[in-house]
Chains A and B, each alone.
Chain A
């Protein structure tokens, strides 16, 4: 797991990017609303100003060589429909102010025919939007140029504009929030097949090497395909190693069996004690190597199987009966009595029957090996919150200092140099117990000499 290189979350990246895009869109949206709204407001004002100025210009007339004006009331009042802003006007005839505010500036620029000219300029501490409308008035045979300037302050318009801005901000923000929420939802939705796939891979046990069959989005097909073929290869590699262990055992044991049997035959035919002694040493060496090889392979198999327990309900009493029956002939060779005590009610543990049997057999085997002749080994099944299988012998026991390290691989007691052994027996039993959530307890026999080894397993 340490090799994992997490590089951020796709989900977060998607959400952040979508939110950024949404924010940009919101700002653009806001700006567009503002520009359009202000343009609309200005256009409206301009239209009314132009209408007002035109109607004033129309109201200029000639009267016996004089230029007169009858200011129409509605020309001014129509400007009130927009806002309560102040209105200024100035009427010029041939550049001379006829009436109105003298200092009202004329929009610069030449009016194109009758088209009004607009300008925004400061006037009397205020911002003024003004329009200039020109017409030619015939007075007698003279053509007089009439210019009408109408201006209006922009306070109302500013208020409208700020209201529009506020609204635009609100709409932009709402758009941002809704769009972001929708994008989070969409990302969630798009990611859900990925989550389901990840969960279905994470949920499987460490030994589950079946191919992943959860619904796979097209983009992940190469990844999941790679994973499946990897698991397939792993599975066949594991199967191969199981076969290899079995094959190795076969290859090692068969020649050793030949050597041992031939040595025994020769041993029986020998007379000289020194030759017999030498051959006995040889046979012991063969035993030692075959036992070590056997236990190493057993240990490999236990380690291998512990990684993929084939669990079932195991009746502990039956298992103990089997192992005791099986090892009794070996024990009897040394006149060792094996006594088995099991409760009447059946006890079950959830586990791998072959491994549990192997563990029990290893502990029993050790007890027989280290027990002197004419002794007893007591095997007792005791059930409290756990299932406890105790093996109590009357052998030499363990030296006090050794107890802790006996389950370590190849560690043997300090007082056993004269017995053939590899020290793997307790390790195998301990490994099996641990793989089942239990433990191996080793102590000296409470009553008198000997050892007490207890295999503690959780009840099912």
Chain B
């Protein structure tokens, strides 16, 4: 996915762009509303992440103009204001959602996913591996002609394997993907979710294999 991050704090913006890159996304940074306008004219973004207090204006005005232009690109507002004072107004102005700084990146991802799902998703998010089809936006898994709804953690886990089939992922890498920093869980917790995925993949010729001492990988049965 390609994001436009409108944020005047350069350090935060750089860190966020790096974070998006780690997840395989592209994030362009605009430090002002003017720069954001220029970017939107030249690139088609999947989503805009918008700060409210910007040097050359109020993000809410940008939002109002954006909606007035009938631009369908969804907008998630990154607000640092008090929750009580202007949260309600943001949604009224046409933001698809908002996140209060500081935020957990997985929380932001979850909201991005929820917005994409609400807007109908896109075909690019459907990936096939062997006889298995997986939609990472809706979390639907199609195995042997049967479509099943995955739970959130199962979906996020499967997303990792689908991003790079055949690659071995360590337990700790998978843990980082699945659990937030506030969750106190042991490495064995990952086995529960791997177990669930295995059960759901059982009718297919795709399986998640344990590589002793290294981790897991998704492979096609011969």
Residues of A within 8 A of B (CB): 242, 245-246, 249-250, 253-254, 256-262, 264-265, 267-268, 273, 276, 280, 283-284, 286-287, 290, 294, 297-298, 301-302, 305, 326, 328-330, 332-335, 353-355, 357-358, 361, 369, 373-374, 418-420
Question: Is B68 in contact with chain A by the CB < 8 A criterion?
Answer: no
Q: Please, how many angstroms separate the alpha-carbon atoms of A301 and B83 in the complex?
A: 9
* 21 interchain pairs, CB-CB under 8 A: A245-B85, A250-B81, A254-B9, A261-B12, A261-B16, A262-B15, A273-B172, A284-B181, A287-B102, A287-B104, A287-B181, A294-B82, A298-B83, A332-B152, A333-B180, A334-B153, A354-B88, A355-B84, A358-B83, A361-B83, A369-B182
Closest 5 A-B residue pairs measured CB to CB?
A257-B101, A257-B102, A261-B15, A301-B84, A253-B80
Q: Which of A283, A335, A420 contacts B153 (CB 8 A)?
A: A335
CB atoms of A280 and B114 under 8 A apart: no
Query: Are the C-beta atoms of A354 and B84 separated by less than 8 Å?
Result: yes
B115's closest neighbor in chain A, by CB? A329
CB distance from B96 to the nearest CB of A (A): 11
| Cβ contact within 8 Å between A335 and B151 | yes
Among A253, A329, A332, which residue has the most Cβ atoms of chain B within 10 A?
Answer: A329
**Bound-complex Cα distance A6 to B113 (A):** 66
| Nearest CB in chain A: distance from B192 CB, A | 9
Per a CB cutoff under 8 Å, which of B82, B104, B110, B153 touches A249? B82
Q: Which of A250, A261, A267, A287 contacts B53 (CB 8 A)?
A: A250
Shortest distance in angstroms between B106's beta carbon and chain A's nearest beta carbon?
6
B85, A330: Cβ atoms under 8 Å?
A: no
Binding site for A on B (CB under 8 A): 9, 11-12, 15-16, 18-19, 22, 53, 78, 80-88, 97, 100-107, 110-111, 113-114, 151-153, 172, 176, 180-184
**Cα distance, A95 to B199, chains bound together (Å):** 161
Residues of B within 8 A of A302 (CB): 84
Q: Which of B16, B83, B151 has the most CB of A within 10 A?
A: B83
Give the distance to chain B from A295, nearest Cβ to Cβ, in Å. Answer: 9
Chain A residue numbers with a CB within 8 Å of B106 are 333
Q: Find chain A residues with CB under 8 A from B81 CB.
A: 246, 249-250
